[in-house]
């Protein structure tokens, strides 16, 4: 039985042939994109970004891989007839050139979209080892990227189909494609199933460490395998792939030990807050307003302890159909707002240290926003009562979004209004829906405990930090964090 009756061609239609190399290369890129999407989604981005980035990096990667090959194979040969540069169907791609141009496109794309390049790269770059592992089998089918000639005995413990394909022009050759493919796959397994799992417990990875791991792993493994190949691109007496691998290793090690972080100034995180129960103690006003509605439309006794905990956090539009199904929700919301606004001066007060925190953050140059389930005018009313509006740069209320929390829409809108990305953002809230919204946006979350009865609900949502005093936030800001939910 022959596994590959035509080892190079996957499909032939007339004079047009679809090569296995292309199929495997595209398949590897697609699988990498799908694996990466899980982490990209956790960081608050959608599949559209994956598509745009994958297509752009792939196309520019092909351009870079071809240019790299032409530069170091025989530049004079290609310059004699420049059309040869475009004849990619005759073979000639060098992955390291593709990595460089793909990375440059990614840098351009992320800057244009106000995305943190290293954060997004951490989601994708380690997974590229999958694409490279698959792509090397294209070299196998093309009977290229092999080592020196060996005897048949060399393949004693290899499957027959590998031995047979490594029999080229009357001699057997070392299957270096296989060694690199296995090392690439092993690198992915080590990072994804060992390092990431350990990080979930010990939290030692910082932003960019996924990229640095890739550079070190791919660098050393390619250096070793390249030394066994017979078709290396050369820069004088030096194997270009080995030289580039050394650069990758050095950059990766320097990144791991934090050299680049010392020279690259990290932006201050954007500070977003919930309002009710976070900056303002509006709980008495909320409960008093609900009590008023229960007394009017049901009975005050029905507004028990369980319901009092349930109403703190979720939007009115969600709770009213549950508690008052016979009433018109829109009319009831208006009635709630009128009564709640009226009792604000009597029942609302700032949280302890709220004003001092906002004042200090403002003086230190932090951008500050409010993302609340309240309507924007209600948020402004509460802030104005205690002269807190002067510290707030943007307000996003329930009337500014299509979907309320736990949807991340409000967080995204606030960041957009502040002209920043959400990659370095902290959301502070006191309810389960606040933390869920932060998780869905992929931002760092701080759960504020004011009412001890609600601590269990907050803990189940696993915020990055739980505090009982707003002043603790200033201490957290001095710590070394990636400001990312569930980093890798």
Q: What is the pLDDT of residues 7-60, one digit of tens each?
A: 676 666 666 667 788 899 999 999 999 999 999 999 999 999 999 999 999 999
Percent of the chain at pLDDT above 90? 81
Helix (H) or strand (E) holding 9: strand 9-13
CA atoms within 13 A on the CB side of 182: 7
Q: Choosing from 116, 122, 209, 274, which is the catalytic residue?
A: 274
Tell me if 64 sits within 8 A of 102, measured CB to CB: yes
pTM score of the predicted model: 0.87
Question: Residue 238: how many CB atoms within 10 A of its CB?
Answer: 12
Least confident of 46-50, 209-213, 411-415, 416-420: 46-50
Answer yes or no: is pLDDT of 367 > 80.
yes
C-alpha distance from residue 342 to each of 11, 65, 156, 212, 336 (Å): 75, 68, 87, 57, 10
Q: Is residue 116 annotated as a catalytic residue, yes or no?
A: no
Predicted local confidence at residue 16, as pLDDT: 66
Instruction: Reply yes or no on whether the pLDDT at 451 is more than 90.
Output: no
pLDDT of residue 202: 85
**Peptide bond between residue 445 and the one before it cis (omega within 30 degrees of 0):** no
pLDDT of residue 1: 37
Residue-averaged pLDDT of the chain: 92
What pLDDT shows up at residue 130? Answer: 97
pLDDT tens track for 238-271 = 999 999 999 999 999 999 998 998 887 778 999 9
CA distance 200 to 462: 12
134 and 32 in contact (C-beta within 8 Å)? no
pLDDT in the model for residue 15: 66
pLDDT value at residue 101: 97
For the chain, domains (ranges, CATH) are 9-263 (no CATH), 270-282+348-477 (3.40.50.1000)
Compare 477 and 20 and report the one with higher pLDDT: 477
49-63, 91-105, 279-293, 307-321: which range is least confident on average? 307-321
Query: pLDDT digit string (tens) for 135-157?
Result: 999 999 989 999 999 999 999 99
Task: Name the band, by pLDDT with cuts 50, 70 and 90, for residue 88.
Answer: confident
């Amino acid at each position: 039985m022959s596994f590959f009756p035509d080892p190079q061609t996957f499909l032939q239609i007339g004079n047009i042939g679809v090569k296995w190399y292309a199929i495997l290369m595209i398949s590897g890129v697609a699988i990498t994109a799908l694996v990466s999407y899980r982490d990209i989604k956790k960081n608050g981005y959608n599949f559209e970004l994956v598509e745009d980035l994958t297509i752009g990096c792939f196309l520019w990667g092909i351009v870079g891989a071809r240019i790299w090959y032409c530069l170091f194979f025989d530049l004079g040969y290609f310059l004699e007839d420049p059309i040869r540069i475009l004849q990619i169907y005759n073979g000639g791609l060098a992955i390291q050139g593709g990595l460089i141009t793909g990375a440059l496109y990614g840098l351009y794309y992320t800057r244009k979209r106000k995305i943190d390049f290293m954060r997004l790269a951490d989601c994708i770059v380690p997974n590229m080892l999958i694409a490279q592992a698959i792509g090397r089998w294209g070299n196998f089918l093309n009977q290229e990227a092999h080592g020196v000639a060996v005897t048949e005995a060399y393949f004693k413990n290899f499957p027959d189909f590998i031995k047979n394909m490594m029999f080229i022009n009357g001699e057997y050759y070392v299957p270096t494609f296989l060694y690199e493919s296995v090392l690439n796959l092993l690198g992915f397994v080590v990072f994804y199933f060992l390092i990431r799992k350990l990080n979930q417990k010990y939290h030692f990875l910082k932003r960019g460490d996924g990229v640095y791991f890739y550079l070190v792993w791919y660098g050393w493994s390619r250096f070793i395998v390249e030394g066994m190949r017979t078709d290396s691109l050369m820069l004088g007496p030096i194997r270009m792939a080995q030289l580039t691998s050394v650069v990758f290793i050095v950059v990766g090690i320097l990144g791991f030990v934090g050299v680049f972080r010392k020279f690259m100034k990290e932006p201050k995180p954007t500070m977003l807050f919930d309002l009710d129960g976070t900056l303002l103690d509006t709980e008495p006003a909320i409960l008093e307003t609900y009590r008023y509605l229960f007394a009017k439309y049901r009975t005050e006794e029905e507004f028990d302890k369980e319901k009092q905990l349930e109403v703190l956090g979720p939007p009115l539009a969600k709770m009213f159909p549950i508690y008052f199904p016979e009433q018109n929700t829109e009319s009831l919301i208006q009635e709630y707002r009128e009564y709640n606004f009226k009792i604000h001066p009597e029942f609302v007060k700032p949280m302890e240290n709220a004003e001092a925190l906002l004042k200090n953050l403002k003086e230190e140059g932090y951008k500050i926003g409010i993302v609340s389930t309240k309507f924007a005018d209600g948020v402004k009313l509460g802030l104005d009562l205690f002269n807190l509006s002067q510290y707030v740069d943007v307000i996003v209320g329930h009337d500014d979004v299509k979907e309320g929390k736990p949807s991340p829409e409000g967080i995204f809108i606030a960041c957009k209004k502040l002209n920043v990305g959400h990659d370095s953002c902290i959301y502070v809230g006191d309810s389960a829906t606040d933390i869920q919204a932060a998780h869905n946006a992929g931002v760092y979350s701080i759960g504020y405990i004011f009412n001890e009865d609600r601590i269990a609900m907050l803990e189940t949502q696993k915020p990055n930090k739980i505090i009982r005093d707003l002043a603790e936030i200033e201490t957290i800001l001095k710590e070394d964090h990636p400001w990312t939910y569930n980093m890798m």
